[in-house]
Amino acid sequence: MIHPTAILHPGAQIAQGVEIGPYAVIGEHVRIGRGTKVGPHTVIDGWTEIGEDNTIFHMASVGAVPQDLKYRGEETYLKIGNGNTIREFASLHLGTVTGDGETTVGDGNLFMAYSHVAHDCHVGNGVVMANAATLAGHVTVEDHAILGGLCAVLQFTRIGTHVMVGGATSVTLDVPPYTIVTGDRRESRLRGLNLIGLKRRDFPEATISGLKKAYKILALSGLKLSEAVERMKSDIPPCTEVDYFISFIESSKRGVCR
């Protein structure tokens, strides 16, 4: 159902079963998949691809041009998967040619009111961004991370899988997977493993035990980062999650929160 007051460019590709509310505006290059609902006064523009069964609430801004002064109208993309919820006044922007050329969002994410996903960000699956959580450009957020309200993530930063970012936290370094980080720009640091999140997702006790050991070595041992990594490799039995914890740290270009 498309409300008669909605404005759709003739070039937009709208699948069957899409609902578009009053006064919504859909741009020329937009593609919207089956079962997606678009609320009143929402604007979807740019080269934006939206999958199936998404719910976009009123006043959201999806596919606007990047807030990047180098952007000159190039053909860049926003690609959104299936089953996402984008609440009122949330904003998700196109990529840039100086970045990856696209901003990507996976499946089953929740973007609460006033949250912001900037150009060239990559958001995985099952992510929750609470009210006014903000990603600067080129940020990667891995699966099942939760970002508290009013938190701000610096450009080119990575948030690992199953991370919990506390409300109003300023994140300036990569956050290792499975951890909790809180604090302001000067004192943002790890506060422990995201044990509640891990248990809710039924991680085995053996895995949690290994991650506890890895966390203690990283955050509490006082070792240099390279020494901590070597200690983890030598002291902790092989485990998929611990191995990923280590590889995330080793691949960091910004440095990691500790």
Length, in residues, of the chain: 258
**144 assigned to active site:** no
Task: Give the 3-state secondary structure of residue 164.
Answer: strand
- Cα 40 to Cα 17: distance, rounded to the nearest angstrom: 17
* Token couple for 46: 């740019």
119 is catalytic: yes
Catalytic residue among 124, 126, 137, 149: 137
Around 104, how many Cα atoms within 13 Å sit in the side-chain half-sphere? 13
Quote the DSSP letter at residue 2: B
Task: Select which of 29, 93, 116, 119 is catalytic.
Answer: 119
DSSP collapsed to 3 states, 54-114: CEECCCCEEEECCCCCCCCCCCCEEEECCCCEECCCCEEECCCCCCCCEEEECCCCEECCC
Among residues 107, 120, 174, 197, the one annotated as catalytic is: 120
Catalytically annotated residues: 119-120, 137
